[in-house]
């Protein structure tokens, strides 16, 4: 009851067509925004971007890592089942 009364539960789009409730930040600051901004990234969602931008890997090298099972890259899909 206290969590709800303090506005600490917020609903967030789960990127799969539903809603998930998460705990908002308990801290309140007069000149700053804090709290839940969204759900966590899917496992592997940003792998390709990181490999390209930070490590300089090209698409062929990333594809080879995926085929070898070393790297899992997954883009979110609203129609896909939730993990």
What confidence tens digit (pLDDT) does each residue in 11-52 have? 888 777 788 888 887 777 788 777 777 777 888 889 999 999
Q: Is the pLDDT confidence value at 79 over 50?
A: no
pTM more than 0.85:
no
The angle formed by the CA atoms of residues 50, 52 and 53, to the nearest 5 degrees, is 65
Judge whether 75 and 82 are in contact, CB under 8 Å.
Answer: no
Contacts of 71 by beta carbon, 8 Å cutoff, 6+ apart:
44, 47, 51, 62, 65
The number of residues making up the chain comes to 83
């Amino acid at each position: 009851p206290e969590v709800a009364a303090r506005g600490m539960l917020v609903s967030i789009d789960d990127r799969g067509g539903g809603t998930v409730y998460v705990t908002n930040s308990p801290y309140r600051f007069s000149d700053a925004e804090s709290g839940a901004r969204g759900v966590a990234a899917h496992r592997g969602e940003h792998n390709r971007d990181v490999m390209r931008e930070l490590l300089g890997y090209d698409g062929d090298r990333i594809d080879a890592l995926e085929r070898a099972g070393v790297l899992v890259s997954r883009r979110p899909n609203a129609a896909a089942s939730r993990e």
